[in-house]
Amino acid sequence: MKTRRIFLQKASLSAMALTVPTLTPFSTMANSISDFTREEKTLRVAIMGLGSYGTRVAEAIQSCKRVKLVGVISGTPSKVVKWREKYGIPEKNCYNYENFDAIKDNPDIDAVYVITPNALHKDEVIRVAKAGKHAICEKPMAVNAADGQEMVDACKAAGVHLLIGYRMHFEPNTLEVIRMRKAGELGEIRFFQGLAGFTIGDPTQWRLDPALSGGGAMMDIGIYSTNGARYMVGEEPIWVTAQEVKTNPEKFKEGIDETITFQLGFPSGVIASCLSTYNMNNLDRFYLNGSKGWVEMQPSTGYGPIKGMTHKGPLNEPIVTHQTVQMDEMAAIIFDGKRPEVPVNGEEGVKDMKIIDAIFQAVKTGGKVSLNLA
């Protein structure tokens, strides 16, 4: 009987164990509730500069999940009217270049995307920062590294973000190549080539005015190779050499480079060989060579689709609208503290400006210029 009683007691306890629900720790439950109820903030952006690229960004924002176009800043009243009608922008969120400091008192605007000629970036970004708004600045961030550093310092002093429009830092095929390199699939990196060029048109445009552009092809598209060499190789260059060729001095006046070839040296011994030109078409190519494999991307930095081939086969990552992904990712950086695979902060922009400054110096001196990007 005693044995039978013990058996029945154990059986009853086993049955209870099967029917009593498992208790969820409160901390886990609280986290689940928090995740369920947490709302992702929307980044409310005003675009400064309503030209062709500003228009491209505005269109891309329409597909964003976390960004909304809420304001404009322009010196052309007719453009403001068109944008107000097209995007439903309230009149109180429209400014010109003289009065946009008043955004300080406008709670509808979180950030301003500066898309104006290069030489204007510094003063405009500093004014945005003083107004207490986050600044997104198109590249190149300035006309030299000293101006870029002033922008970084001003935004830090104001407690706002400064992000640079490096759309390629979020492009899926580009990120796949970086993953391959980090995973060792290419072996030891040994060489990088970056080619960027097109035949520029209208000789009266601001890109050919040194007072507004700060340079020619190097500022406009050469920066893709300086920046691309860094994230493709995975190191910071320590020296640069460069040579300039100018076949049309009337169109490409003093201070406007037509064609520059430049070389970057990296601590590991990797060499990058690059070309930037306003006088040749069909140049948009990256090539990365390692001891175990290679990658070729062509087009490599255009608006898309980006295409590429590796020793393993073609790159087949999703085709995206670069500016849409860029803006949503920037919202995550500002609101969530997200850290992208490749930085897009002001410090990143200053590094590229230091390289470009050194390239111009190397062109003038004909010698090797040392770099310190630490």
Contact 294, 159 (CB under 8 A): no
DSSP sequence for 74-122? -S-HHHHHHHHHHHT--GGGEE-TTTGGGGGG-TT--EEEE-S-GGGHH
Contact 236, 347 (CB under 8 A): no
Please choose, from the candidates 130, 137, 134, the residue with its C-alpha nearest in 3D space to the C-alpha of residue 158. 130
Contact 223, 140 (CB under 8 A): yes
Q: Which listed residue (133, 139, 351, 354) is catalytic?
A: 139
Based on the residue annotation, tell me whether 86 is a catalytic residue of this protein. no
* Dist CA 274 CA 88 (whole Å): 44
Q: Which listed residue (95, 113, 224, 278) is catalytic?
A: 224
* Dist CA 337 CA 331 (whole Å): 9
> 123: buried, middle or exposed (CB in 10 Å: 19+, 13-18, 0-12)?
middle
Based on the residue annotation, tell me whether 224 is a catalytic residue of this protein. yes
* Dist CA 74 CA 242 (whole Å): 37
User: Helix H segments across the chain?
Assistant: 2-19, 26-37, 52-61, 77-87, 121-130, 145-158, 172-182, 210-213, 217, 223-233, 322-336, 346-365
Please choose, from the candidates 206, 190, 165, 154, the residue with its C-alpha nearest in 3D space to the C-alpha of residue 349. 165
Secondary structure of residue 312 in the 3-state scheme: coil
Instruction: Cite the active site residues.
Output: 139, 224
